[in-house]
């Protein structure tokens, strides 16, 4: 099994990444760190604890609260997309007052993300194994780990991060949200000697949770509904997931004009780790614009290998595989399979 560390800011699509990480039989999820981003850090941590519980994560699976703000800039949140607490509109999710969830939240107060990551990574290293890291939010936690524990980086076999765009943005003309929230952290990560895979919005925008997949999620045993009405949810879990994805769909309709459904951005990190063959990608030099008047947070992808010839840049080497496409049907097969397993618990 692939040992996995997951860093998230839940967040509706982060929730889907957590579900996939827990229910992919190919993965051994060691822990989850949370970060500021879609909502303030306190909320993203509580949400992760609620989701672990609701998705039937192992009892010793914990979420550890990480950075409450970016390295240099002021924190920004995205209530327009995810609601004030990061999981707007979700029905049926147990609250943070539930005793088992409260215990997880309190556990995190004594053990913060940076320490939890360092101690887990060290244990993996001492057992002569390696692990994969997936990030679905701003890269602050990982940048802090890189700066604080450089001796642990060689235990990371691969980092798969959802973030950035190739010539496109979603929270400015050219900047994607996760990178825009903490561009300096993203550059630290891109400069680190770690094998990296980027899942940009160019790819995530092809994975749309549309009416057909919604109908399959609600009722996998009935024929998919091609009419406007959706089937009744077969189980409480399916109802909860449906309300979660409905809210996300509405945000994407209102803010970005997506009429067919929302993109499942973060879930793609886990799909890549489970089956990289679903994706195509090319290795490029990627840097983050840190100073531009109109372009802060842009991921600058050197598709023409220009920097190789320009020594004034001072940064060299193709540092990242940039994914370019994903097999959408293959993704949804994996996604719906995880929901089935989650539902069987």
Q: Which residues bind ligand BDR (CB under 6 A)?
A: 11, 13-14, 38, 78, 81, 136-137, 162, 170, 176-178, 201, 265-266
Residue 136 or 217: the one with the smaller Cβ distance to ligand BDR is 136
265: annotated active-site residue:
yes
Label the pairing between strands 320-326 and 156-162: unpaired
Which of 23, 82, 211, 265 is flagged as catalytic?
Answer: 265
CB 196 within 8 A of CB 159: yes
**Least Å from the CB of residue 78 to ligand BDR:** 6
301: β partners = 286
Question: Which contiguous run of DSSP H or E holds residue 180?
Answer: helix 177-181
Give the position of tokens 């091609």: 226
Residue 18 or 71: the one with the smaller Cβ distance to ligand BDR is 18
The yes or no reply on residue 137 touching Ca ion (CB under 5 A) is yes
Question: What Rg, from alpha-carbon coordinates, does the chain have?
Answer: 19
The one among 32, 136, 146, 321 contacting Ca ion by CB under 5 A = 136
Residue 162 or 322: the one with the smaller Cβ distance to ligand BDR is 162
User: For Ca ion, which stretch binds (CB under 5 A), given 124-132, 167-175, 206-214, 259-267?
Assistant: 259-267
Q: Which residues of 117-139 are buried (b: 16+ CB within 10 A; e: fewer)?
A: bbebbeebbeeeeebbbbbbbbb
The yes or no reply on residue 14 touching Ca ion (CB under 5 A) is yes
**Least Å from the CB of residue 176 to ligand BDR:** 5
Q: Where are the beta strands (DSSP E) in 128-174?
A: 131-135, 156-162
User: For Ca ion, which stretch binds (CB under 5 A), given 11-19, 127-135, 224-232, 248-256?
Assistant: 11-19
Please choose which of ligand BDR, Ca ion, none residue 177 contacts, taking the beta carbon within 5 to 8 angstroms, the exact cut-off set by kind.
ligand BDR
The yes or no reply on residue 11 touching Ca ion (CB under 5 A) is yes
Give the position of tokens 């969830």: 101
Residue 47 in tokens: 């949400």
Please choose which of ligand BDR, Ca ion, none residue 243 contacts, taking the beta carbon within 5 to 8 angstroms, the exact cut-off set by kind.
none
Question: Which contiguous run of DSSP H or E holds residue 58?
Answer: none
Residue 188 or 201: the one with the smaller Cβ distance to ligand BDR is 201
**Least Å from the CB of residue 178 to Ca ion:** 6
User: For Ca ion, which stretch binds (CB under 5 A), given 8-16, 84-92, 98-106, 216-224?
Assistant: 8-16
Nearest to 154 by CA among 120, 186, 191, 129: 129
Residue 18 or 101: the one with the smaller Cβ distance to Ca ion is 18
The yes or no reply on residue 41 touching Ca ion (CB under 5 A) is no
CB 215 within 8 A of CB 224: yes
Name the 3-class secondary structure at 27.
strand
Tell me how far CA of residue 305 lies from CA of 227, 231, 316, 325, in angstroms: 48, 50, 10, 20
As annotated, the active-site residues are 265
Residues that bind Ca ion (CB under 5 A): 9, 11, 14, 136-137, 266
């Amino acid at each position: 099994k692939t040992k996995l560390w997951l860093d998230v800011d839940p967040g509706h699509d982060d929730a889907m990444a957590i579900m996939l990480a827990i229910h992919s039989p190919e993965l051994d999820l060691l822990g989850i760190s949370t970060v500021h981003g879609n909502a303030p850090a306190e909320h993203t941590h509580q949400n992760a604890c609620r989701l672990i519980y609701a998705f039937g994560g192992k009892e010793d699976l914990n979420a550890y609260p990480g950075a409450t703000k970016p390295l240099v800039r002021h924190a920004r949140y995205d209530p327009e997309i995810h609601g004030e607490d990061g999981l707007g509109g979700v029905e049926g999710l147990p609250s943070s007052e539930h005793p088992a969830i409260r215990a997880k939240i309190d556990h995190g107060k004594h053990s913060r993300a940076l320490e939890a990551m360092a101690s887990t990574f060290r244990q993996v290293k001492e057992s002569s194994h390696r692990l994969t890291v997936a990030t679905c939010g701003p890269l602050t936690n990982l940048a802090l780990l890189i700066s604080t524990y450089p001796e642990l980086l060689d235990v990371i076999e691969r980092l798969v991060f959802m973030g950035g765009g190739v010539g496109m943005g979603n929270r400015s003309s050219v900047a994607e949200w996760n990178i825009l929230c903490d561009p300096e952290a993203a550059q630290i990560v891109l400069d680190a000697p770690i094998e990296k895979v980027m899942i940009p919005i160019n790819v995530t925008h092809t994975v749309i949770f549309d009416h057909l997949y919604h109908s399959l999620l609600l009722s996998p045993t009935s024929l998919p509904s091609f009419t406007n009405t959706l089937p009744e949810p077969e189980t409480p879990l399916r109802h909860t997931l449906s309300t979660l994805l409905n809210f996300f769909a509405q945000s994407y309709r209102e803010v970005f004009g997506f009429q067919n459904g929302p993109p499942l951005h973060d879930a793609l990190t886990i799909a890549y780790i489970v089956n990289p063959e679903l994706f195509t990608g090319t290795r490029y030099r990627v840097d983050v614009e840190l100073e531009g008047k109109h372009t802060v947070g842009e991921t600058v992808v050197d598709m023409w290998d220009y920097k190789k010839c320009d020594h004034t840049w001072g940064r060299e080497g193709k540092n990242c595989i940039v994914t370019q496409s994903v097999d959408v049907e293959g993704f949804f097969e994996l996604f719906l399979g995880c929901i089935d397993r989650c539902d069987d618990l």
